[in-house]
Structure 1
Amino acid sequence: MNKHKVFFQPGDILVEATDGSTLKEAMNDAGLEFDFLCGGRGTCGKCRVKITKGLTTPVTREQEMLQAKELDEGIRLACLTRVSNDMTVELPNRKELKHNILITSDERVFEIDPHLHKIFIEVAKPSRENHSSHWRRLKESIVQQGYKDSELESTISILRQMPDVMRSANNQITAVIYRNEISGMEQQDTTKTMLGMAFDIGTTTIVGYLLDLYTGKELSVVSTLNPQTAYGADVISRLNFASHEENGLIKLQGAVVEAINELVTEAVQKASVTRDQIYGISIAANTCMHHIFLGINPQSIAVSPYVPVLSEPLVLNASELKISINQAGKVFILPNIAGFVGADTVAVLLATELERSEDIKLVIDIGTNGEIALGSREKIFACSAAAGPAFEGAQISGGMRGAVGAIDHVYYRDKLEYSVIGEGKPLGVCGSALLDAVAGLLELGILNKRGKILAFDQLTNPAAQRFKQNLIQYEGQGAFLLAEASLTGNGRPIMITQSDIRELQMAKGAIAAGVRVLMETYGIQVQDIKEVLLAGAFGNYLNPHSACVIGLIPPELESKIKMIGNAAGTGAKLALLSSSEFRRAKIIAEGVKFVELGSYPRFNNIFGESTYFNIK
């Protein structure tokens, strides 16, 4: 098959692409970080690139989604443009593609109880009087440290290393022990240092925390965009890719393992340590990300009754997963609850101690797939609400992730104002700003309870008069202009369209309906909830008032809202630093009662009601 040279700018990155392949495929081959929010299905129109050489004729879908001016300037969609000749492709704002990734989290008091232990021993040398095997003499030395001979086990790799290590170390070694297994042997005394990393693998981002396993001290924090976004922004896209694309699962698993190894490298460089000093890794992830990380086909999650292959916690050798840490290293994987309520939710519950609370609390992790838990020490119910990609900026006309150039908050003052991540010209609007914009339109009376943008002559609130110039027409319907084309960084106006509001209504309706179903299942009223804990990136960047105005969270609970940062990261740290906390995660997962929203008798009615806005 013919090959063509594709140069990506900036950076002058060369890829030889097969004739007929898409630019998206070429970008993936080059390892370029780029968002394909719809998974490359050509439905979101966000993968705009500029072709400066080898311009192609736009396909019908591109003609529908791009403006005539953009087409004339060489703008195309990477997922739809096929390579038929040598090309030069300019990637917009590639140098500035930095995402706001939530890495902070609340801490709580707990007792450090390491999974692994190090013991420095001097093994008796063989002699004519002592013909015992290396293994026997090693065990006898460890027994003197309090272990029972009958419980000690070894692996074949340790037995293979044993003679050389003992000879080189003059029989003075450090044994690395997990439970009763000798998982590592090191020359001389290395007991002073034992590190680990806790990972929160999200659909959009991955965050890693490098920790001292003896003291719990955080040595460095690293994060990155989940490279699987190249195959789709949401869980469903990844499920489909893993199940139906050739080698799809292998590609997805390889991408996340490579990202984790790169984060390990970055973390140890920041802390001036080495990766060989890392002996444990914990993993908190939603069920789909959990399965993909393990190389387990997640197809069963995608079809009714949406069951995972595995819910129980796992402890694996790091080498089995190709994680580059100490050869004695273990990977501790937190348990799942259900198909769409995963180990990340378990980690959040571990961090918040909901099962120990005297008061009833509501825990929400808002995202494409919103996980909700409600309960106390008496009982806990949890559900998953399919909110869709609106909160991530997908399917929104000017939507984008919370990256540099995104409008992140909107303010209705004497005139319309907004803040931009990175403080430059805006490129689009992210989910938190979408909430602010719509909440303000509701308070001004520019939106009715059905979400319709009213014409200027229908407005009755005098305060709305200040924003007359922002009320425009777009594709025959009302829209609200946030930034005109001359003020943006890409020459395109940023607005909230009628379609954008519909997308938000569906997303907020899913979360709100999930909360209502859990309340009914629990048998409580909204006033019985003593605290609302918002976890995750979106939950911590949104304005609580805006969330309550649009009905995402019951308005009566606004004063009870508390942001708890990356609670899944906190839970992952707890599970890494304490074997008892890791065991508690299993108890929590088994004790949570999962509620399948689709099977709830009144769900359709509740969801329909929840898509409406409550106008005061």
Structure 2
Amino acid sequence: MKRYKVFFQPGDLEVEVMEGSTIMEIMNEAGLDFDFPCGGRGKCGKCRVKILQGAGRPTAQEVDILEESDLKQGIRLACLTKVYGNMSVELPNYKKLEHNILMASEERSFQLEPHLKKIFIEVDRPDLENHRSDWQRFRDGLARGGYDSLDSEVPLALFRRLPDALRQAQNRVTAVMYGSKVVGVEERDTTATMLGMAFDIGTTTIVGYLLDLYSGKELSVVSTLNPQTKYGADVISRVNFAGREEQGLNKLHTAVVEALNKLIGEAAEKAGISRNHIYGVSIAANTCMHHLFLGISPQSIAVSPYVPAVSEPVVAKAAELRIDINPAGKIFVLPNIAGFVGADTAAVLLAVELDRSEDVKLVIDIGTNGEIALGSKEKMVACSAAAGPAFEGAQISSGMRGAVGAIDHVFFRDKLDYTVIGGVSPLGICGSALLDVIAGLVELGIIDKRGRLLSYDKLTNPAAKVYKDHLVQYEDQPAFMLVDAEQTGHGRPIMVTQNDIRQLQLAKGAMAAGVQVLMDTLGIRVSDIKEVLLAGAFGNYLNPHSACVIGLIPPELESKIKTIGNAAGTGAKLALLSASEYRRAAEIAGKVNFVELGSYPKFNSIFAQSTYFQPTR
């Protein structure tokens, strides 16, 4: 038995069905809520649908019930029309479909509402009696499909494309629409396929998700290191490069655009599709990455009062940004909140729906620039904490990114134990393991309140003395040896030095101070926070207990911590799949009150206090 595809609109639902199935049977199986007053017996004539493609001949019952003009327009009865080929069906007065889609963070109900639409039309053939232009006849075809109020602005490229498309496809073409604007025309019926890419552009990494814009299905996931790292590991160094070097801004812009185009190609290849099937791209990024992607100078971010050049959502043509997708494609950039709280945070808040939460929640994305948000539907506040690169392994003596060979977790048991990414001989330590080491040393009393690594003769906890051989001098400073040279993959010992501890103290102190400032701003206590949501790669891999032991997160909140994966990526997906969610991201960004930590009264004293550890023994 042959199988065919039936596409329903509005609702943008595609279903694969067996030959001979009725439209009614397909709608029932797909869970489409539609009335069949006579029970599908073809008696009442109420289940009218419009077949845009693949109608075939009407049945005798349809000829009896429906007017000839209706039949000519493709009106059929869903209970009687059977599928004998690919078909496109319009459901009159049908409300948009809602779907629950399991995203990267949590199951989230939202309305699928693609930014772009495809309309298949048959254009009247030209004749000697009526000298209407190709464009006029094309417009008439759209008007018959319900699009009679078109935007007057028409891309010149479309006029150039239209004559050949009409003649090569025997006047059967698909219009690509963005609102009331025609942005593309394609030969024959291409309505069955419309895909998009959602990107989370981070300072260190870029992640992309290929999505079916009709179903919301994730088709492939790709990632890469941000190639801008060769111009600087953090945002400030890239801002400086953009302003200092000749063509610096262009180099940074080109690097990220080329990376995205490469990822689009990889995602398309994985899914076995053409990049020409991609019509939309959404972008979530911190403010600096946002500006560099758009080719906007980020200089204003780095100097007081640290304002972005633009905070509103940005919609651009793919060609304007040299993004290699369908020529009709659009780029949807999420809004920024402030100079150092960007579109990635707006995406996270969209994903977790903080704007609709009855309870007060703390949302933390830990990285070189840590973003923190606190609040509920009543009020939301956010800040940026300059944590530095310690959490990502940079500026740590044996630090490295979370790649193969990195120690990712450390356990203080009867003896020191650890796990290594890839199961190979260790090459270094990444941020999550650094937290584990220092938390373990704090609990054992090997590190004191001020962060000093104690010598063996000053230890009072018997359990700490098991690690005597790990307490060494390394490059003229106290250090804790994780792995000796003979057991590493490069023949060098892996250490956590006194300076490494200081770097972590500064990083965790900045984050903890940010949390305290936001609580003070809202006038709440730790006990008022009902949930802590950790976003981003680092938040996903860290041990919550370790984070609480060192004071990165208030210890009282340990049982309330939930990791939510790449929530910025989830927000980017939502913004791509739903125009309503994209608009909501802008509303969220506008509601968040940004707190500048540097100008907050008593911040210096709060920060200093937050750098301390609280040993448990």
Normalising to structure 1: TM-score of the pair?
0.82
Query: Is structure 2 residue 334 aligned with structure 1 residue 334?
Result: yes
1:3-14 aligned at under 5 Å gives the runs: none
Q: Within 5 Å, which residues of 2 pair with 1:437-586?
A: 437-586=437-586
Please tell me the root mean square deviation across aligned C-alpha atoms, in Å.
1.1
Moved more, 505-514 or 237-246: 237-246
1:108 match: secondary structure: strand
In structure 1, the partner of 2:52 is: none
Contact conserved, 1:106 with 1:565, CA < 8 A, in 2?
no
Query: Which residue is equivalent to 2:92?
Result: none
Distance in 2 (alpha carbons) for counterparts of 1:495 and 1:115: 51
> Does the aligned pair in 1 maintain the 2:151–2:182 contact within 8 Å?
no
CA distance in 2 between counterparts of 1:209 and 1:391 reads: 25
Matches of 2:149 and 2:359, distance apart in 1 = 48
* Larger deviation, residues 146-155 vs 249-258: 146-155
> Aligned partners of 1:424 and 1:334: how far apart in 2?
40
Moved more, 227-236 or 380-389: 227-236
Kindly indicate whether residue 255 of structure 2 is the aligned counterpart of residue 255 of structure 1: yes
Partner Cα distance (2:129, 2:122) in 1: 18
Q: 1:135 to 1:227 in 2, by over 3 A?
A: same
Instruction: Measure how far apart 1:492 and its partner are.
Output: 1.2
| Equivalence for 1:367 | 367
Structure 1 counterpart of 2:411, which letter? Y
Q: State the Cα distance separating 1:104 from its structure 2 match.
A: 4.6
Report the counterpart of residue 319 of structure 2 in structure 1. 319
Percentage of pairs with the same residue:
71
**Which digits, 9 at most, give the CA deviation of each residue in 1:415-442, with x for residues without a partner?**
1111111111111111001000000000
The Cα offsets for residues 296-342 of structure 1, whole Å up to 9 and x where unpaired, read as 11011011111110100011111111111101000000000000000
Q: Deviations over 1:532-575 (max 9, x none)?
A: 00000000000000000000000000000000000000000000
Alignment of 1:72-221 (within 5 A): 104-149=104-149, 151=151, 153-221=153-221
Q: How far 1:153 moved relative to its partner?
A: 4.1
Query: Contact (CA 8 Å) 2:150, 2:182: kept in 1 or not?
Result: no
The alignment's TM-score, normalised by the length of structure 2, stands at 0.82
Residue 237 of structure 1 aligns to a residue in which SS? helix
3-state DSSP class of the match of 1:177?
A: strand
The question of whether the paired residues in 2 share the 8 Å contact of 1:107 and 1:570 is answered with: no
Whichever residue aligns with residue 486 of structure 1, its letter is E
Per mean C-alpha deviation after superposition, the further-off stretch among 422-431 and 351-360 is 422-431
Name the CA distance, whole Å, in 2 between partners of 1:240 and 1:294.
17
Task: Note the alpha carbon deviations across 1:453-489, whole angstroms, 9 max, x for none.
Answer: 1111111111011101101112333211101111111
Q: How many residues end up aligned between the 2 structures?
A: 514
CA distance in 2, matches of 1:590, 1:450: 40
Deviation at 1:410, TM superposition (A): 0.7
Return the alpha-carbon distance in structure 1 between the equivalents of residues 528 and 238 of structure 2: 38
Residues 331-359 of structure 1: per-residue CA shift (max 9 Å, x gap):
00000000000000000001000000000
Q: What CA distance in whole angstroms lies between the structure 2 residues aligned with 1:114 and 1:152?
A: 22
Partner of 2:413: 413
Aligned-residue offset at 1:152: 5.6
Partner of residue 227, structure 1: 227
**Structure 1, 468-477 or 424-433: larger mean CA deviation:** 468-477
User: In the alignment, residue 414 of structure 2 is paired with which amino acid?
Assistant: D
The aligned counterpart of 1:403 is 403
For 1:450, give the aligned amino acid. Answer: R
8 Å contact from structure 2 (residues 150, 180) kept in 1: no
Code of the residue aligned with 1:338 in structure 2: it is A
Give, as a single letter, the amino acid of the residue that structure 1 aligns with 2:454.
L
Separation of aligned partners in 2, 1:269 and 1:198: 16
- Taking the aligned partners of 1:150 and 1:472, their CA distance within structure 2 comes to 75
Confirm or deny that 1:610 pairs with 2:604.
no
How far off its partner does 1:151 sit? Answer: 4.1
Rounded to whole Å, the distance in 1 between the matches of 2:158 and 2:451 is 66
Question: Could you say what secondary structure the match of 1:110 adopts?
Answer: strand
Q: Is the 8 A contact 1:405 1:427 kept in 2?
A: yes
Q: Which amino acid aligns with 1:582?
A: Y
Gaps of 5+ in 2: 1-102
Which structure has more RCO (C-alpha within 8 Å, separation ≥ 6)? 1
Letter in 2 for 1:257: V
Question: Where in structure 1 are there 5+ consecutive unaligned residues?
Answer: 1-102
Q: Secondary structure at the match of 2:510?
A: helix
Query: Which range moves more in the overlay, 309-318 or 476-485?
Result: 476-485
* Contact 2:362/2:529 (8 A) holds in 1: yes
SS at match of 2:423: coil
Residues 347-366 of structure 1: pairs in structure 2 closer than 5 A = 347-366=347-366
3-state SS of the aligned residue for 1:609?
Answer: helix
Q: What SS class does the counterpart of residue 184 from structure 1 fall into?
A: strand
Contact map agreement 1:139 1:152 (CA 8 A) in 2 = no
Q: Which residue of 2 aligns with 1:394?
A: 394
SS at match of 1:548: helix
* In structure 2, C-alpha distance between the alignment counterparts of 1:476 and 1:222, rounded to whole Å: 44
- Residue identity matched to 2:318: A
